[in-house]
Chain A
C-alpha cells in the first residue's frame, strides 16, 4: 500500500484490516461481545479466558456468565473488573 493511501486512511479515521483480529465490544463493564473467538479455555464465575487468534483474552470479575455462545462469537455478562490480553 502506498504511503499516500495510508495517510488518507488515517485521515478518514478508518481502522486497519481486521481479517484475523477479534472484534471486542464492551457495554460498560457489564457485557462483552467477542467476535472471532476460537474457543473457551477457562470458564468460571470469576474468570473467563477466551482464545482468539494470536492472543488470549482474560476477563476477571464477579458472576460472569456465558449468555450466548457459537463457534466464532460469544456474549459474556457479569460484573467485569479486569481485562487482560495475553499475547
Chain B
C-alpha cells in the first residue's frame, strides 16, 4: 500500500515493449538500476510499469536491445497536476480549502457549559472571556488548567471547574460550591426583641421566658422573650432565647403620578438590520436604520448547528422599532389604575416577607396630579435576637 502511494506521488508510466527479445531490454534496464514492476506478457508484447523520470532515459537502452517502446498510460500525481496546470483556479481553490480548514481549526468554534445551577450562563461566559476563552479565541493560547484555576479563584461560588478542549470545541464542566450552613451559637446568651412596632398575634418561644400575652402591643427594640431565667432559689441563669413572634404591623406608602406624562409610542416604522457574526466578529450586512432617535429593538440569532455542533457563524436579525415621545394627560380612572399597579409592585417586592391582611386605599386628585395613599396591615415575624453582654 505504502509502495503504491509512493509510486503514485512520484508518477509512473505503463509502456509496451515490441521486438524480438524484450527480455534483453528488461535485463539491460535492470542492470542500470531502473525500477520496473507489473511486467505482463501478452500476445508477443511485454508491458510493464516504470517511474516517469526513468522512462525519459530509457530510449537508449531500448535501441541497444533492439526493441521499441510505446507509452500506453501515464499515472500519478505529476500527471494529475500537469493535466490541471492550465486550470490554476482549481489548484488554488484546493489549496485555499486546505489552508482555510487548517486556519479555522486554530480557533474556538463553540463553547458548551454544563453544571450551572445558581450562576447564570452569561455570567460564566463573561468570566471565561476575561480569561481568554470565547468563540473565536486562538486555541494554542488557551491553557485549560490556568483558566479553570483562575475562574475558581475569582468567583468563590465556583467549587470545581474543568475546561475540556476537543478540537475546536470547548466544553466547560462546572460544579458550584454549596454554601456552608449558618451555625447558631447556642452557648451565647441573648434576648428576643421586636424588630418593629406591632401587636402580638402569636409567640412561639422555644427557649427563654415570655411575659407578654397575645394582643399586647410592642415597640421596636422591646424585649419579647427574655434570655435571663430565674430559678426557684432566686438565682439567675442566662440562656440563648429563641422564639418566633408573629405580630400585626402596619405600613404606609404614598404613590403619586403627574397629570401629564411623557410616554414613548411606536410610530409604526420597523427596520430589520442584518449582521453576520463570524468568530465573534460582528459584520453588518445592511446599513441604515430608523429615522427617530428613540427606538426599541429585539434580536433573533440564527446559528447553524449540524449534528448538534454549534458553528461559530450566526446570522443576527435586529428588528428596530421607531418610537416617538408623546405628552399624555391622564384622567382619573387611568391614573388610579396606574397607581394601583404601582402599589401592587410595592407589595410584591417591599412587603415580600409579610402577609398583607388588609389594605386601606385613599386616592386623591391634587393640583399637580394624583396621589394614592395605602395603609397596609400585615402579619410578620418581628423577632430579632440581641445578645446579652456588657458594653
Contact = CB atoms under 8 A, between A and B. Distances in A.
B368 interface: no
Given A43-B46, A45-B41, A70 B35 contact: yes
Interface of chain A: mostly helix, strand, loop or mixed: strand
A67 B46 contact: no
A67 B37 contact: yes
A65 B26 CA distance: 14
- Size category of the B interface is 10 to 19
A39 B30 contact: yes
Given A39-B27, A40-B27, A70-B30, A45 B42 contact: yes
Contacts of A42: 23
19 contacts: A39-B31, A40-B23, A40-B26, A40-B27, A41-B23, A42-B23, A43-B22, A43-B23, A43-B39, A43-B46, A44-B41, A45-B41, A65-B39, A65-B40, A67-B37, A67-B39, A69-B30, A71-B30, A71-B33
B38 interface: yes
Closest 4 CB pairs of A and B: A66-B39, A39-B27, A71-B30, A40-B23
B345 interface: no
A67 B38 contact: yes
A1 interface: no
A39 B24 CA distance: 8
B54 to A, nearest CB: 13
Contacts of A45: 41-42
Contacts of A65: 39-41
A43 B26 contact: yes
Contacts of B38: 67
A45 B41 CA distance: 6
B36 interface: yes
A37 to B, nearest CB: 9
Contacts of B35: 70
A67 B38 CA distance: 5
A9 to B, nearest CB: 35
A71 B35 CA distance: 9
A68 interface: yes
A50 B31 CA distance: 14
B36 A69 contact: yes
Interface string A42-58: 11110000000000000
A71 B61 CA distance: 15
A45 B39 CA distance: 11
A73 to B, nearest CB: 10
Contacts of B27: 39-40
Given A69-B36, A71-B31, 10 more contacts: A39-B23, A40-B27, A41-B23, A42-B23, A43-B39, A43-B41, A65-B39, A65-B41, A66-B40, A71-B30
Contacts of B23: 39-43
